[in-house]
Amino acid sequence: MARILGYIASSLDGFIATEDDRLDWLFPYNDMNLGEHDYKSFLERVRTLVMGRGTYDFLANDPAPWGYEHHRVYVVTSSPIDRPRGKLEVRSDIDALIAELRALDDGDVWMLGGGQLQMAFLEKHALDEIEIYLIPELLGGGRPLFPATGHRDSAKLISAQALDRGCVRLHYRFDHSE
């Protein structure tokens, strides 16, 4: 059974992007040394990526080469993608997608991108672990790490680690078996 994981950066005040969906606040940290927790190392552990339409559109409009050609990619959306960038599959039913992901046995699943889809998976008790990279920047507003939906949950801290340039890695596990 595949584990469904989150791996995301957040500002100190809990935002993942500015109000206009910009990530320029994060770019000065691109050369940060994350050691064994580096993005490339994480990406090698996952076989499947799941993203919402907003994240897909953001990545599809980036002039950089599509970086997920060796992964199975699902985009959660109710509208068709006319000219897909890279090989991907579209799903609109989150419950059916979760069942499909749980049946995979060839690697972990990464919830790539925004907090909205991660929250939808949390509400369905389908996010197993999350790594949050807390960046020492205050944005003062923007897209929250987890949108306020009224959902309450508890996570177990697996580890907390100070990294390069004031970044802190928080690794949590959600146990919904109780």
Domain assignment of residue 29, yes or no? yes
CATH number at 161 reads 3.40.430.10
What is the total count of domains within the chain?
1
* pLDDT digit string, tens, across residues 62-86: 999 999 999 999 999 999 999 999 8
Domain presence at residue 178 = no
Q: Is 164 part of any domain?
A: yes
- What is the residue type of 57? D
Global pTM?
0.93
What is the Cα–Cα distance from 158 to 130, expressed in whole angstroms? 10
CA 102 → CA 24, 58, 71, distances in Å? 34, 27, 16
Domain that holds residue 20: 4-173
Segment 96-147, tens digit of pLDDT: 999 999 999 999 999 998 888 999 999 999 999 999 999 999 999 999 999 9
**Residue 94 burial (10 A CB sphere; 0-12, 13-18, 19+):** middle
Residue 103 lies in a domain: yes
